[in-house]
Structure 1
Amino acid sequence: MYKTKKSITEITNNLFPETYGWDSYWQKEWSAAGYEAADLTPVRVTADFGQQFKVATANGEYMAETSGKMRHLTEQGSDLPAVGDWLAAELLPGEHRARIHGVLPRRSKISRKAAGNPVREQIIATNIDTLFLVTSLNYDLNIRRLERYLIMAWNAGTQPVILLSKADLCDEVFRLQALNEVTLAAPGVPVHMVSAQTGEGMEQVAGYFAGGRSCALAGTSGCGKSTLTNYLAGGHVQRTRDIREDDSRGRHTTTHRQMFEIPGGGVLIDTPGMRELQLWEGEEDGMSGTFSDIENLAGNCRFRDCTHNREEGCAVRTAVDDGELDSGRLSSYRKTQRELAFLERKEKNRSTTGRSAGNGKRDQRKERRVKNWLHEE
């Protein structure tokens, strides 16, 4: 274990160079949290195995566990370490193991609603500067799903960048059609056509790691995330598998979130494929970023609380009728609004205590009615 405040700063500057992203910002956060006086060392989570974590330290990678006190004081699972977190850890002498005592405040947090009940948050990655949203140029290209990924990215406080992967497998007509559709659905978001086989677009992608920046990949299984990771990391660090030919769907190869060093500085987090992305509550910023075109039009509606359905003087519906706005995009916008409202309501109901059994049954019937409303077009 390192015994002096000076040694901690020297170690992080020398052995946490631009590669892992430790900089003056994190040094200030470390000092403000009082960890320098606590005889602890900064480390970064590179992989999450459930009860154990792999962390990057000044002496290489260690396996780490949270301290008993930290587990006892942690109220929510989302407060536990996640891939990308900077931690305050005690390095156990003579062992390549560490004990985690705290998590530095996160600069960004990519999360979604975990599957099943109860309603809870699942963190995908933290402290990410750029989130690459990967979708392959085949039959699995889905604009509506891409919109959901954009909401997640904007809400996380990261810069979304769309990668249209496997560009070598489609003709020029399909490439241009896909680029046009994606650009319309993601106003202002950088879009790159890439191929890890030919190297197309990969130089531009590599530029996002300049200055030791942290990036992550998100997308469905089979979209090419692991292949892109291998290319950017300069070696075969992730296993890959072919997609199914009949529907272009992939098979899971990445089973857990993991961080990789990028030659020249910066890190990349590869994540398991997400076929279904359930948005987490509080996605207002994400909605504004993803559907900025609709919200700009809504400013010209006659009524401030316009639902863009049948109201007179609705500028959004007028844009649809005039062909300036795709009706499917408006449908997706309204459906996403309903989903987030439903999730917020469900979370409030869950937090309410002291219900009787009869009230619980009524709530279940009410929830079923809300679900039917949720899936209306």
Structure 2
Amino acid sequence: MITKDSQVKSLKPKEKRYTNAAGDGLFLDVMPTGKKSWTVAYSKNGKRTRTKIGTYPVLSLKDARVLAQDIQRQALLGYSDILMKDLVKEWLSVYSPNWSSEKYEKNVIHRLELVTERIADVKANEVTRSMISDEIGLIVGRGTIETANRCLRLIKTVFDYAVAKEYVETNPCTLVSKMIPARKVVNMASLPISEMPKFWTALNYMDMAYETKQAIALYNYLACRPSELVKARWDTGEFDLDKGVWIIPKHRMKMRLEHMIPLTEKPLQILRDLYDRRIDDEFVFKKKSKPWEHMPTETPLAAVKRAAGNGKMTTHGFRSLLSTNANEAKLADGTRMFHEDIIERHLAHVPHNKGRAAYNRAKYWNDRVRLMEWWAAIVTPWIEPES
């Protein structure tokens, strides 16, 4: 039986999963991959149940015992006794170990606190729809519509978990979305294509770091999201400069899905030059004052705003520029040059009505290569007007 944390650490994987008891209904499963997971056994309505509560080393032996005892106590007293603050804590302990971003976890905790701060000590099964509506209403009242939507989606997920665990009978978040006013969609500022030569003329005459200008050029060529580019690294193997492919890791993608972007001749030239100039194999674009950190998204954004005129163009606007013009492009016979699904897939827009599991990072690949070649032919004369 496991009695010390050092014993947990020393356990080695075998060909098949095996389990070690840690006392008082707590068990540790060791997978062939080396992953170690805590489970707790308890009785409910006379039926023996086992539930996964977390992984090691995220949960130490001591922490796992505390959580296991709490779950067993709740089973003994009745699930209806769990308080909102404890429900949120349990939900976080189950799901947060799978999150790759510390910033994302902080955002989730903050949004849940916005909804639950005043009802933290209320029993979960006593939380009513009106209580949730009151909390969401306060957020809406501050004018933060998108925050209200995100907070509601999160707390609804927490209550879905509570329903599955039989802590509550129904989800009190149902229909609360009806009280949130529709958010007016404001597209990121983007110059029309007719003004892009003038924009690049102004940009080429501006005094800026070489890397900043190259980042802006890649935004224009590739139409990627700003953070996806400035956080790119050489040492992760995401760039295959021989095959002309950039594979963006899922933790940097908005939809948490790995994404592939074709690299045509001009973007490849830029990246190869940056690779030859690199001082290490970490970030492609570095912060000038702290080269061990990535370039802030605000650095190329500030240059774009100066060249275009504040409020007329953003780094995100290059995505709108590609989308607008690719959707309007026609062949000689008047038919569309690119189907909207090709454009949307290149922009990594995953329809909500199509399951994430069905996402294929390389779908429409040949068509997307053609899209990037067509777009590069349009963009290059702006960036290199004398070529």
TM range (shorter): under 0.3
TM-score (structure 1 length as normaliser): 0.27
Larger Rg: 2
Higher relative contact order (CA 8 A, sep 6+): 1
Point out the structure with the larger strand share. 1
Point out the structure with the larger helix share. 2
TM-score (structure 2 length as normaliser): 0.26
